[in-house]
Amino acid sequence: MGCDTLVALPPATHDRITLFAKNSDRPPRECQRIVQLRARRPPSGSPVRCQYLEIPEVAETATILGSQPYWLWGLEHGVNEHRVAIGNEMVFAREPLGAAGLTGMDLVRLGLERARTAAEALAVMTDLLERYGQGGSGQAHVEWPYHNAFLIADPVTAWILETSGRHWAARRVAEVGNVSNGLAIGVDWDRGSNDLTDFAVAQGWWSSDAGPVDFTAAYADESGVPPNLAGARRRRAGALLAAARGHVTPATMRGILRDHYDAGPVHRRREFEDPQFFSLCMHADPLDNTTAAMVARLPADPSAVGTAWVCPGSPCVGAFLPCYVEGTVPERLARGDAEAHRESPWWRMRELLTLVERDFERWGPLVRARWDVYEAALAREATGVEAEAETVRRSGRASAAAALLTAFMERTVDTYLAETERLARELGG
């Protein structure tokens, strides 16, 4: 029931390049794979099968890099070849949902496949939402349809989109923005479904003489939702972004995704009633854990390399790996299903987390220190490889640049898996 998504637009970042970040909080042992979905040109009139229904295909789709729960068609978060990034959040709204419709993960993938800008993605997703509605369970073993919120970004623009059934409100982000697991758009929406106010009035959720609807006040349903689920996390992420405004870096975003309030990147056990029980890096087993994360760098210069730093598993005990839509993402990152398997990087990281969880205060700092050294060295190497790839690309050799990035990704996965094995052995695994 978790997730947090953040964005810092160029005025707020150190190098004036948009940064997008997402923690995906899902069932603790639900494998998420890093997948690359290539652009395609399907036959005219052919349908595409989403999770629970078919919809018409489009003439052409974009190449995507994203994080995909093993059993789903859609994505928790991702970025496409046009530097559009999208992440979704479960939210709680009043309208009932059925067993068939588009899931939030469907809408993330469809927005990435069909849009070249954040504004286009917003239009694509809201059109599909109004036409087909939301529905179908977002959980593999529980029948639980849910409403969604989204953060949509590109190199110059970002939008927050919140939904209730087929209704929606969207607000443009000024410099920094973040979403969590509750509706938060009030009367400050910039765009909305045509009957957004009228429907709320008809339902008795809003007064006819009160002007444009306050989306959260009218549509939110917090009955049965833990009061500490989303509010503190939203405020925490917003405060960390605000404190870094003007000099946000990918490392800043990775640090926010690893945050456990006063415990920083090291998880500290808390009672369920504690307002800080649900942290940005979530450890709420058996409810939810952070099971994947991403930080995407979205440059406006088409010759610059866009980077998606991906983390299989919990970011506080793992590392972010640089991946590139322009290259070929290693197939090994896409391995994994319902059963634990040593060939799956995600399951190997799940094993490491289990070892750390025996004594987080003892093992957490050791593992974090090792990954910090590894990640810092990787970031330096990535800077050099990306600069070389940009030089090659500007000389007109796009395929050679892609080959450089592909080879770097393969080396990175090799070293990452080797370090994971060393850490597991040291912890007695």
User: Residues 46, 57: contact at Cβ < 8 Å?
Assistant: yes
d(CA 89, CA 146): 10
Q: Are 53 and 101 in contact (CB under 8 A)?
A: yes
Distance CA 126, CA 362 (A): 47
Q: Which residues contact 282 (CB under 8 A, 6 or more apart)?
A: 2, 23, 25, 288, 289, 290
Q: Are 391 and 400 spatial neighbours (Cβ–Cβ below 8 Å)?
A: no
From residue 84, alpha-carbon distances to 48, 156, 187, 295 in Å are 21, 10, 27, 13
- Would the CA dihedral through 230, 106, 54, 140 be positive or negative? negative
CA distance 205 to 303: 50
* Length, in residues, of the chain: 429
Tell me the CA distances in angstroms from 96 to 142, 164, 221, 236, 308, one per residue in order: 17, 9, 11, 30, 36
Closest residue by Cα to residue 362 from 317, 321, 398 = 317
Tell me phi and psi for residue 38, to 5 degrees: -75, 150
Paired tokens of 281: 């890096």
Neighbouring CB atoms inside 10 A of 266's CB total 18
* Active-site residue set: 3
Spatial CA neighbour of 132 closest among 103, 156, 104, 101:
101
106 Rama class: left (phi>0) / alpha (psi -120 to 50) / beta:
alpha
Determine contact, residues 67/292, Cβ cutoff 8 Å.
yes
- Round to the nearest angstrom and report the end-to-end CA distance of the chain: 30
